[in-house]
Amino acid sequence: MLFANLKHLGGFVMLSAVTPPGKEGLPWDEAHCSHIGPHSHDPKRLGCRIDPDALAQWSHDISKRWKRLHNAARNAVKRKHGRCLPLLLRAWEPQKRGAAHVHPVFSVQTPADVMLAGAYFAELGRLAPRHGFGFVGQKRGVSQQVMAAGRAAAYLSSYFVTGKREKATLSENAKNPNLPRLLIWLTPTLTQQTGMTMRSRRRCRQLWAVRVGLLPPPSWSAVELAQTILLAGAWPAVLRGP
């Protein structure tokens, strides 16, 4: 879905990462790695994790806090610059230590767009602590990245499909109680142009099952059936089966 929609979009996108707070807000689970002995906590190398009670408490309203943070940053940019770019995509991913971080993504076509997206990320960084989040950006001082839309689709979706290195798969993340229920959000402005949504993909798979005799004909309206046939023809890969 990401590849099809972002390929249709074309051009470039700008993205960053909004991280959870550090050990001051999310303390380590000392019992989890006590067998190692005295050490500096390292979730990647040593498998250290956040205290589960602290993590559950921080995570239970994470979607609401993110929405408030996003709206506050967007309104601040509007006040300063007169407008703010519409959010293109938002994707959640868990860190190795257990807490979630989120990638907001914008479509950028001009230098002015890049400036507005950068202003938004700056406001996120300023406001994040007020809403229980940590710093905005990535390691080694990289606060935001501009990349081709297709590359962004690969970057955001690779670990969702089969898991990338030690990253969890989409099915594992979907069952993670410390992540929001809606892991990936893509603006309807784009999906309405392409017709490519998770629902339409499921219907294409159902249509394939009907064509090979695995399922009876669906009880869709004539319009829904025509739309699904058109979409399946536009993306033949959905007809190849599981």
124 and 84, same structural domain? yes
The per-residue pLDDT for range 196-216, each reduced to its tens digit, is 888 888 888 898 898 888 999
Residue among 224, 228, 225 at smallest CA distance from 204: 228
pLDDT of residue 107: 95
Place of tokens 């408490």: 57
Instruction: Give the mean model confidence (pLDDT) for residues 136-154.
Output: 79
The per-residue pLDDT for range 65-111, each reduced to its tens digit, is 999 999 999 999 999 999 999 999 999 988 889 999 999 999 999 99
Question: Domain range for residue 212?
Answer: 198-239
51, 193, 229 from 235: Cα distances, Å: 45, 15, 10
Evaluate whether 89 touches 105 at the Cβ level (below 8 Å): yes
118 and 163, same structural domain? yes
DSSP-assigned beta bridge partners for residue 15: 105, 145
Q: How far is 93 from 164, CA to CA, in rounded Å?
A: 12
Evaluate whether 168 touches 74 at the Cβ level (below 8 Å): no
185 and 202, same structural domain? no
Q: How far is 238 from 147, CA to CA, in rounded Å?
A: 27
223 and 132, same structural domain? no
157 and 80, same structural domain? yes
Residue among 30, 83, 23 at smallest CA distance from 58: 23
pLDDT of residue 10: 84
Q: Which of 157, 174, 192 is the last residue of a domain?
A: 192
39 and 81, same structural domain? yes
Length of the chain: 242
77 and 19, same structural domain? yes
The DSSP call for residue 18 is B
54 and 79, same structural domain? yes
Evaluate whether 5 touches 194 at the Cβ level (below 8 Å): yes
Place of tokens 């590359």: 151
Provide the edge-to-edge strand list for the sheet that holds 12-15.
145-148, 12-15, 100-108, 89-94, 184-186
The DSSP call for residue 161 is H
- Residue 229: pLDDT band with limits 50, 70, 90: confident
pLDDT of residue 166: 52
**Structural domain count of the chain:** 2
pLDDT of residue 231: 79
- Residue 240: pLDDT band with limits 50, 70, 90: very low
DSSP secondary structure string for all residues of 167-220: PPPHHHHHT-TTS-S--EEE-HHHHHHH---HHHHHHHHHHHHHHTTSSPPP--
Cut 0.85: pTM above it: no
79 and 28, same structural domain? yes
- pLDDT greater than 80 at residue 164: no
216 and 155, same structural domain? no
Q: Which of 171, 192, 213 is the last residue of a domain?
A: 192
The per-residue pLDDT for range 10-65, each reduced to its tens digit, is 889 999 999 999 999 999 999 999 999 999 999 989 999 999 999 999 999 999 99
220 and 184, same structural domain? no
Q: How far is 188 from 34, CA to CA, in rounded Å?
A: 47
107 and 29, same structural domain? yes
